[in-house]
Structure 1
Amino acid sequence: MEFERNDSGDQPTRERVVRSILVNGPSTAAALAERLDLTPAAVRRHLEHLLTLGALESRDARPSATRGRGRPAKVFAITDSGRESFDQQYDDLAVQALRYLSETGGDEAVMEFARRRVAFIERDYATVTAAHPELSPAEALARVFSAEGYAASVRSLPLLDGLSAAEQLCQQHCPVSHVAHEFPQLCEAETEAIGQVLGRHVQRLATIAHGDGVCTTCIPNPLVSTSSTTEE
């Protein structure tokens, strides 16, 4: 399945629509129009095409006490086939390039590439924490990863006394999961970079690349003693 047929001029916009839903979750046409700076008519046209292709599905929005009378709003969510089609556009080329890099430069060359790819973590983490000092380290990282298409969120893990022993950084989507299945250095570099920007050990508990539903990284509270080590 492709996001376009014979109207390739619309393809970049349709990919923006799909990516916006992928990152922000199920969305109404009005929300998409505002988020992407498009007219409502243009958004509806792209949504209808994506629904026809099976890349999106429509659902009834949850009832809202503040919503007035009229036809209930619909929200649009990405389907499994839409998610796979979005990812597949880049996976084959990336795998071929990394295979060539591995053959010519070895595993260390692949790891160096992986580290460069996640340079956005250190760069954007500093920007987010400076602008939003109220965020916890994990919450700041969630914003950094979500901006890169990972659809990240945070889950707190409480101690018995109610204090937070750790937070889990949960990535609902991984743009490189299919590639990382063959080249785990991509996951290793992410975990390494998270530990470096936080200045503490973190532990990767699950990855989409290895068949888990969510990529999960445990980030211990710096006030809690832990013997965890940084690992994939």
Structure 2
Amino acid sequence: MGAAPGARDADAPTEVRADPAEGQRESTRQRVLQVVLTQGPISAARVGEVLGLTAAAVRRHLDALSDEGAVEVKLVAGNRGAGRPSRRYVVSHAGQSRLGNDYLSVAADALKRLNEVAGPDAVRAIARDRFAAVEDRYRETIGTTTSLKDRTAALADVLEAEGFAASVRTVGQRGPSAAKSTLWAAQICQGHCPLQELATDFPEFCVEETELFARLLGVDIRRLSTLPTGGHVCTTHVPLGRDAEA
């Protein structure tokens, strides 16, 4: 006797359908993570402004990302150090490791062997070669730009294209006197380092990168923090005050 129309075989596998709402939540969560990656340390309110989300929605996603260990909170003092520190979000080191660096473990083993056989100079040559692509792309991009501020922005754009999640922030204020102008600076912030696993074991990569930045920008720069040494971002301080066209 045939089954009634519309009846389902009890032994047939149950069809599991994806929840569209869940997929949308995951997509939005990844967008939130990307904003924290590229602009962190960043407040929840600012994430909402960037993505056009309500404060409540942003906090739900940030709480979920925090529970997963992908982001963490950093307390930042106000401009004058007064009042309660504000909460800023950054991608955690565990979150960094989720961004696709598995192949680097093979490269790290190879570099360790190279260091044993040929010494640190050979490792540094590898690091120099790695950053040659950044230098080549920068020189193609820079054109006739002469302002140090614009050159710094161009370098950040190249780093962003190379996967370093780079952005530029201006700190301080340009003043009427040379003394006050020296406090005016740009900071290149790199929220992700595709070479972090290598640079942790081989600081030659950070050394080569720092020397490259100084050479391309033509000024003395300072590394304020790096991901391989425990920072939440790689931050490079570029003094703008003495650049006449900045």
TM-score (norm 1): 0.60
Question: In the alignment, is the contact (CA less than 8 A) between 1:23 and 1:146 conserved in 2?
Answer: no
**Residues in 2 aligned to 1:130 and 1:212: alpha-carbon distance in whole angstroms:** 33
1:122-149, CA deviations, whole angstroms, 9 ceiling, x for partnerless residues? 2111122128778612111110100011
**Cα 1:111–1:153, aligned 2, differ >3 Å: closer, same or farther?**
same
Q: Letter of the aligned partner of 2:175 in structure 1?
A: D
Q: Which amino acid aligns with 2:139?
A: A
Counting matched residue pairs gives 167
**Structure 1 residue 121: deviation in Å?**
2.3
> What is aligned with 1:167?
186
Alignment-derived partner of residue 134 in structure 2: 121
Which residue in the other structure is 1:149 paired with? 163
The alignment-based identity, stated in percent, is 33
Q: Secondary structure at the match of 1:219?
A: strand
- The residue identity in structure 1 corresponding to 2:171 is L
Deviation at 1:25, TM superposition (A): 3.8
Report the secondary structure of 2:198's partner residue.
helix
RMSD: 3.6
**How far did 1:159 drift?**
3.5
Aligned to 1:230: none
Residues 1:207 and 2:221 are matched in the alignment: no
**Aligned match for 1:136, one of 139, 150, 159:** 150
Q: Closer, same or farther in 2 for the Cα pair 1:88/1:24, shift >3 Å?
A: closer
Q: Which residue of 1 aligns with 2:198?
A: 179
After TM superposition, list the pairs within 5 Å mapping 1:59-70 onto structure 2. Answer: 61-63=51-53
Q: Which deviations, in whole Å up to 9, do the C-alpha atoms of 1:180-200 show, x marking residues without a partner?
A: 111000111100111111122
Equivalent AA in structure 1 for residue 194 of structure 2: P
Q: Could you tell me which runs of 5 or more consecutive residues in structure 2 were left unpaired when the two chains were aligned.
A: 1-26, 37-47, 71-93
Distance 1:23 1:152, change over 3 A: farther
User: How many Å separate the matches in 2 of 1:158 and 1:82?
Assistant: 31
Q: TM-score, structure 2 length as denominator? A: 0.57
- What corresponds to 1:33 in structure 2? none
Measured after TM superposition, the shift of residue 156 of structure 1 is 0.9
Instruction: Give the C-alpha shift of residue 154 in structure 1.
Output: 0.6
Deviation at 1:21, TM superposition (A): 6.4
CA distance 1:82–1:104, shift in 2 (3 Å): same
CA distance in 2, matches of 1:202, 1:124: 20
Structure with higher Rg: it is: 2
SS in 2 for 1:89: coil
Q: Which residue of 2 aligns with 1:101?
A: 114
Q: Distance in 2 between matches of 1:22 and 1:189?
A: 32
Aligned to 2:214: 195
Aligned match of 2:237 in 218, 224, 230? 218
- Whole-Å Cα distance in 2 between the matches of residues 97 and 131 of structure 1? 40
